[in-house]
Amino acid sequence: MIRLIAIVDLDFGLSKNRSIPWSFLEDRRLFYAKTKNSVLAMGKNTFLETEEMPLKERMHCVISSELSLKHNGGDLSAKFQPNVQIFRTLPEVCAKHGDFWLIGGAKLYNYALEKNLVDYALITQVHQRHNADTFLTYFHLEKFSRKILEKNDRYSVSEFLR
Ligand SMILES: NC(=O)c1ccc[n+]([C@@H]2O[C@H](COP(=O)([O-])OP(=O)(O)OC[C@H]3O[C@@H](n4cnc5c(N)ncnc54)[C@H](OP(=O)(O)O)[C@@H]3O)[C@@H](O)[C@H]2O)c1
């Protein structure tokens, strides 16, 4: 089962200037609790641009068509073994790990959504607009049944099952 986890703004924005200014502590806690001891799949940019990567107690499947983690002229692939594996495509991750969390970024989320590969989504939505520059463009609500898990003045947390 492919489970997507993300935090978005009211426009389903994912980030602005390559960061997520609307992220907050409760959401980070939810992310850590849900993904602990799990397999995570992510695009190369999300892995390289997230300072805390790799995370403890999680297996990381990083997707790159180049099968490498080149950054600032060097290849970081060897540095992160054994908790980081590199795959050329998302279907290759599916073949190796039946059950995993898809944690971003924009390119990988939208690829999986467009191909109808996402079975479940856990989405925190802040009740504000932030002029985002990347979006969950292919997240079509009519494809999922929604259950609101939490709602307050600032944000809501919903799960979506296809
Ligand atoms: N709001 C949220 O919950 C959330 C979560 C995570 C990230 N983000 C945001 O997302 C942004 C990063 O998104 P992004 O689109 O730049 O990066 P990304 O999806 O993390 O990484 C893009 C790279 O990953 C590889 N890739 C992605 N999809 C692929 C596919 N279907 N097949 C093969 N390779 C694939 C490619 O690497 P190669 O070029 O090597 O082929 C591609 O250049 C950041 O601004 C971050 O803040 C938001």
5 vs 125: CA distance, rounded Å: 11
Q: What tokens does 93 get?
A: 């991750």
Q: What is the mean pLDDT of residues 93-108?
A: 97
Q: What tokens does 133 get?
A: 């520059």
Q: Is the separation of the CB atoms in 86 and 78 below 8 Å?
A: no
Cβ of residue 44 lying under 6 Å from some atom of ligand 1? yes
Q: What separation in angstroms does the CA of 84 have from each of 47, 78, 103?
A: 10, 9, 14
Q: In terms of DSSP bridges, do strands 100-102 and 39-43 run parallel, antiparallel, or are they unpaired? A: parallel
Write the pLDDT tens digit of every residue in 15-65: 999 999 999 999 999 999 999 999 999 999 999 988 889 999 999 999 999
Show me where the domains of the chain are located. 2-161
Query: 55 C-alpha vs ligand 1 centroid, how far in Å?
Result: 17
Residue whose CA is at the smallest distance from ligand 1 atom 26: 43
Query: 48 C-alpha vs ligand 1 centroid, how far in Å?
Result: 10
Quickly name the fold that domain 2-161 has. Dihydrofolate Reductase, subunit A (3.40.430)
Q: Is 90 exceeded by the pLDDT of residue 69?
A: no
Closest-CA residue to 130 (of 17, 5, 34): 17
Query: 153 C-alpha vs ligand 1 centroid, how far in Å?
Result: 30
Cβ of residue 64 lying under 6 Å from some atom of ligand 1? yes
pTM for the model stands at: 0.96
Q: Is the separation of the CB atoms in 158 and 42 below 8 Å?
A: no
Half-sphere exposure for 132 (CA within 13 Å, toward CB): 22
28 vs 24: CA distance, rounded Å: 6
